[in-house]
Chains A and B, each alone.
Chain A
Amino acid sequence: MKYFAGVDVGSTQAKCIIVDEQRTISARALVETGANVARAADRCFAAALEAGGIARESIACAVGTGYGRFKVSFGDLQITEITCHAKGASLLFPQTRTVIDMGGQDAKAISVRDGEVVDFVMNDKCAAGTGRFLSTAAETLGLGLEEIGEISLRARNPVRLSTVCTVFVESDIMAYVAQGKKIEDILGGIHSAIAARTIALVRRVGLEPQFTFTGGVSLNVGMVKMMEEKLGQPLNVSADSHYMGAIGAALFASEHALVPAGN
């Protein structure tokens, strides 16, 4: 049996997906990127091989993607994460026309036709709308990143943030805490502001359903709900949404390896 690997080295986390010849996911792994990007790529590849009980020699092709893709020493190809997210989203949700990717340090909107990128915009000038913003907010409130989405769903009177700046929002949050605002209302305001900002970004490539939500922030149920409310449309989210870039990369790896040489 031949296998194909996709390694998505993001700013915050590195993800690896291994698929078989039928394009079925055989293994997945996720590690924190940390300061040593090349080592993160190696570690997460090794972890996926181990998780799937797959020998390194049976990997016919490996594709690197994400911001650290050129540090994937074992990669046969590098492809941008934009192309990979579009590809991955179209495998899991073939009707995808718009991909909303909210990662650790950037947010992107990608317009997709049949798995290919038509247009994209990204918010790389500001950390609002990224996992980084949400983790700062969680930390300021003394909560874990994985619990804030759930708590935000209980908001009755969401606060209005005066800024979506990741640096300034800390004092905004502290001021609300000092005023005795409920944690869920503060989180409701945070999720609402970030969702509105992200949708403004998506509008620039066109609001065409179906929407597929990818990247680490897609694990946040509060953000999913808030975006759906503001879009008036459901979002496709899978348990593997976090791995979408790696899935796309693994699919490219399988196509690359299965195309006869010279073609």
Chain B
Amino acid sequence: MELLDRALDEALQRAGAGREALRYVATTGFGRSNYPERDLQLTDVTAAAHGAAHLFPQTRCVVDIGAQSSRAMKIEPGGRVREFKSNDKCAAGAGGFVERAARYLETTLEAVGDLSLHGEAPVTISSVCAVLAESEIINHVSQGESTENILRGVHNSLAERAVLLLKRVGIEPEVTLVGGMGRQAGMVRALEELLGLRINVAPEPEMANALGAALLAKRRLEKAAA
């Protein structure tokens, strides 16, 4: 809650507005019910869909890869969710794995995306489970594989998980990537290669869900006023 307040204040400060200017607050994400002053509470799926549809109006499929989840949605023009598949029960396919891999490879999360682009011969990571995949990484390191090839293998394995989810909702362009993993160029390339498609990447991908929530808050308020 403290964190929520801090984020809210910082955003208001950047907008040059005070709390009194806030007309409607929508929350989303893992901690969405922890903010007592919310007017509206949205699932990650709804928020991501609306954020993506706003940023790229031709979006028909959304992939959301965050630290602890990976999801795929099929949406209508305007952002209504037609179908979604998510993996919330287990860490397979979620981005947190990259963070731990980065730590093990003694590099930073920021550097991972570009390092992966330089992997000429990506390793194969056969484990679906994030924990078992970590052991595979350790094996690759001990066999002398380069950091670049390992990280490209990591991105490929996450892309495979995401594309499996996408296939279950039905792949239809345009595909938009949201969530923190959108920051990593190697992740974007891995998805594009596997899909055989160019994809849209939200400019501040980790903000896309918050953007979607803000847009829905605005719409709700306007509806109430009409």
Q: CB < 8 Å: which of A35, A125, A133 contacts B141? A: A35
Q: How far is the CB of B99 from chain A (nearest CB, A)?
A: 11
Q: How far is the CB of A14 from chain B (nearest CB, A)?
A: 15
Residues in B88-134 with C-beta less than 8 Å from chain A: 89-92, 94, 96-97, 127-132
Given the known interface contacts A163-B90, A167-B91, the answer about A127 and B132 at a Cβ–Cβ threshold of 8 Å is: yes
Is A26's CB within 8 Å of the partner chain B?
no
**Residues 79-91 of chain B: 1 if any A CB is under 8 Å from the residue's CB, otherwise 0?**
0000000000111
Which residues from chain B contact A133 at a C-beta distance below 8 Å?
A: 131
CB pair A165–B91 under 8 Å, yes or no, is: yes
Cα A35 to Cα B127 in complex, Å, equals 18
Across the A-B interface, give the 3 residue pairs with the lowest CB-CB distance, nearest first.
A167-B91, A35-B142, A165-B90
Residues in B150-167 with C-beta less than 8 Å from chain A: none
Cα A167 to Cα B67 in complex, Å, equals 11
Is A11's CB within 8 Å of the partner chain B?
yes
CB pair B132–A105 under 8 Å, yes or no, is: yes
Q: Is the interface of A mostly helix, strand, loop or mixed?
A: loop
Q: CB < 8 Å: which of A105, A126, A165 contacts B135? A: A105
Q: How far is the CB of A158 from chain B (nearest CB, A)?
A: 20
Which residues from chain A contact B91 at a C-beta distance below 8 Å?
A: 165-168
Q: Number of contact residues on B: which range applies?
A: 10 to 19
Is A36's CB within 8 Å of the partner chain B?
yes
Residues in A29-46 with C-beta less than 8 Å from chain B: 35-36
Cα A125 to Cα B127 in complex, Å, equals 6
Cα A126 to Cα B92 in complex, Å, equals 9
Which single residue of chain B is at the shortest CB-CB distance from A125?
B128
Which residues from chain A contact B139 at a C-beta distance below 8 Å?
A: 35
Is B146's CB within 8 Å of the partner chain A?
no
Q: CB < 8 Å: which of A35, A36, A127, A163 contacts B131? A: A127
Cα A83 to Cα B205 in complex, Å, equals 49
CB pair B132–A167 under 8 Å, yes or no, is: no
Q: How far is the CB of B184 from chain A (nearest CB, A)?
A: 19
Would you list 22 pairs from A and B whose C-beta atoms are within 8 A, ordered by A residue? A11-B135, A35-B139, A35-B141, A105-B132, A105-B135, A124-B127, A124-B132, A125-B127, A126-B92, A127-B132, A132-B131, A133-B131, A136-B131, A163-B89, A163-B90, A165-B90, A165-B91, A166-B131, A167-B90, A167-B97, A167-B131, A168-B91
CB pair A127–B129 under 8 Å, yes or no, is: yes
Is B185's CB within 8 Å of the partner chain A?
no
Is B138's CB within 8 Å of the partner chain A?
yes
Residues in A99-126 with C-beta less than 8 Å from chain B: 105, 124-126
Which residues from chain B contact A132 at a C-beta distance below 8 Å?
A: 131-132, 135
Which residues from chain B contact A168 at a C-beta distance below 8 Å?
A: 68, 89-91
Which residues from chain A contact B129 at a C-beta distance below 8 Å?
A: 125-127, 166
Cα A126 to Cα B91 in complex, Å, equals 10
Which single residue of chain B is at the shortest CB-CB distance from A136?
B131
Cα A99 to Cα B96 in complex, Å, equals 35
**Residues 71-101 of chain A: 1 if any B CB is under 8 Å from the residue's CB, otherwise 0?**
0000000000000000000000000000000
Q: How far is the CB of A165 from chain B (nearest CB, A)?
A: 4
Q: CB < 8 Å: which of A35, A126, A167 contacts B96? A: A167
